[in-house]
């Protein structure tokens, strides 16, 4: 039950942070391209890479803290469902350039940033 609560609390904090950042970015930089979700997901990818790199190199993170930060916070902070919905909306709107750019940047750069974050502490 304790691990369940740790993941839930991390998810709450991650989702709440994403919501606030996304609202700020959407108002500050209005565009048809879903830049706020892209940036949030890329930051989340880099962060989870860093966290896994730290937890693998140093023995300073308990299983509870690792679950809280990775599954909880990063899982709540990043959003695959919003990425999928925004991608579909770009496709439905006929915005093919944004559609392919969004998908390629999200997947390729996201994986690269996860790996880079991991390598920094490897």
pLDDT at residue 76, rounded to an integer: 97
pLDDT at 34: 95
Structurally, the chain folds into a number of domains equal to 1
List for the chain the helix, strand, coil content (%; round to 5): 85, 0, 15
- The domain of 84 spans 2-120
Tens of pLDDT, residue by residue, the chain (122 residues): 889 999 999 999 999 999 999 999 999 999 999 999 999 999 999 999 999 999 888 888 888 899 999 999 999 999 999 999 999 999 999 999 999 999 999 999 999 999 999 999 87
The structure tokens 């190199």 sit at 57
Secondary element (H or E) of residue 22 = helix 2-28
Kindly write down the DSSP assignment for every residue of 90-112, as one continuous string.
HHHTT-HHHHHHHHHIIIIIHHH
Q: What is the predicted pLDDT for the residue at 21?
A: 97
Distance in angstroms (rounded) separating the CA atoms of residues 12 and 20:
12
């Amino acid at each position: 039950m304790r691990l369940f609560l740790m993941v839930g609390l991390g998810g709450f904090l991650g989702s709440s942070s994403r919501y606030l950042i996304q609202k700020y970015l959407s108002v500050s930089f209005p565009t048809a391209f879903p830049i706020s979700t892209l940036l949030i997901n890329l930051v989340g990818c880099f962060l989870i890479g860093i966290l896994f790199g730290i937890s693998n190199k140093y023995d300073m993170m308990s299983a509870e803290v690792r679950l809280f930060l990775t599954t909880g916070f990063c899982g709540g902070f990043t959003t695959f469902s919003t990425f999928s919905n925004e991608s579909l909306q770009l496709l439905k709107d006929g915005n093919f350039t944004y559609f392919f750019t969004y998908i390629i940047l999200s997947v390729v750069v996201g994986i690269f940033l996860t790996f880079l974050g991991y390598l920094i502490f490897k």
